[in-house]
Structure 1
């Protein structure tokens, strides 16, 4: 099986990029976008030039940038990708031996799928999904998947003109939600998305780069996101989200104050021009 058909797109922050193929157990060609941010990034400022290396027979291209924003990072990887199948990745994922073959086998077995969502074991307390069957993803269940679950036929994404939003996620103006919005836009563009039970690897233990508790910013940013995801139904889905999670999320502000903050985010989202 030709592993050159697959290219991993790694979003990294303040990392020694040449160490990542070994740490992550990368088995395919890869593009690593390493964003150098803040004081920690100054250590690597002398290494700003782009780089290409052959590591264990795989072509590893490194783009170092003094910029921030995970959407920007993922778009840089996507726009520079060349392979038939692309795999989104984060720098804290450790991949199992043979994962690359499993990806290609799944795409070959399912020509109906433009995008496949794979299992990657999240660290305890951050689990949002685990696929137990092969099934089509719809408007009812697309919102649970992180970027590192997503593999896609590159040409289908390019033809559809889908890219990551620069508004949401680490380093962006608003908190997480960029992956849900990306899959939302894929569905809107008519791409077929399926989930699969194949397992690729696991997430290392680390601290979230964006979650700082259920603060006012958390609820406000969630409202902004829901405007882009649900439009006129954002008020309804926002209340449903808080009601379902009120014991965990609303202990400090209460359900109705949390909802009022979310609504202010929805209204603010209406004033933002799409990118």
Structure 2
């Protein structure tokens, strides 16, 4: 079973971070920068890392380029700020042997190297549309052939580097489910990642909810209203205590409307090229 890393990064002039990631297998890196360049690095442990520098911007665009370049049977989605835990390759290969029908397997990451801090489920579990919204990109692995056959890719209109800077990995999983692919969760930690900062100020909260609205529309489509309300009620006490449920819902609807309007403009422009 050939396992391969696909890693997104930006503005790199050198690649020493690859050693900090503790990579134990080959990989492809897309570096979004201002100069076109292709190189191959061989790490001390013999792993070959192909690096591709591109001019385009946006995390989803980076990951779509990685989908084009990847040659592994199993791909591990990665960012440049994670560190893989000892034995992670064995965890991944064992999971795909245990579930040969799996097209995508989601693992866990930790914010603390000494304990597992992302344990959503205690046992192996199937993912469905209603429980994919909390998955982080660095937890995702997939069979390259399954993704290719289904024609799945990351949505270029959401994710870092766009107007709606999150949710692209969850929309990717939603599209995979709609295409009939099987997604499993294995409660084992494969990597360490620095904890993201929570935006608590009012302007940041507004942008956060607008972004969530766009992402939730991509994920849930006609069920947007139901899942947006469930999200708000779930977060009300911890994150959304400063605003009303109605205001939070209005911000999420605004994200949905702005995303739809942006798509309508894109379709119109494409029609008139």
TM-score normalized with structure 1 length = 0.85
2:53 aligned to which of 55, 58, 64:
64
1:80 aligned to which of 49, 69, 89:
69
Matches of 2:208 and 2:18, distance apart in 1? 34
Report the secondary structure of 2:106's partner residue: strand
Deviations 1:214-256 (A, max 9, x none): 4322222222222222222212221221122122333333322
Report the secondary structure of 1:236's partner residue: helix
Counterpart contact for 1:17–1:34, Cα < 8 Å: no
Q: Does 1:119 align with 2:108?
A: yes
Aligned alpha-carbon RMSD (Å): 2.4
Task: Give 2:88's aligned residue.
Answer: 99
Deviations 1:158-196 (A, max 9, x none): 000001111112111212111110100110111111011
Matches of 1:128 and 1:173, distance apart in 2? 28
Q: Does 1:256 align with 2:246?
A: yes
**5+ residue gaps, structure 2:** 267-273
Counterpart contact for 1:235–1:266, Cα < 8 Å: no
- Count of paired positions: 259
- Inter-CA distance 212–35: structure 2 relative to 1 (3 Å threshold): farther
2:19 aligned to which of 11, 17, 22:
22
1:121-270 → structure 2 map (5 Å cutoff) = 121-122=110-111, 129-204=119-194, 208=197, 213=201, 214-270=204-260
Task: Give 2:269's aligned residue.
Answer: none
Report the secondary structure of 2:4's partner residue: strand
Deviations 1:85-114 (A, max 9, x none): 111011111112221222122212220111
More moved, 12-21 vs 77-86: 12-21
Counterpart contact for 2:25–2:47, Cα < 8 Å: yes
TM-score normalized with structure 2 length = 0.86
Matches of 1:272 and 1:152, distance apart in 2? 30
Matches of 2:50 and 2:152, distance apart in 1? 23
Runs of 4+ in 1 over 6 A off after TM superposition: none
Report the secondary structure of 1:101's partner residue: helix
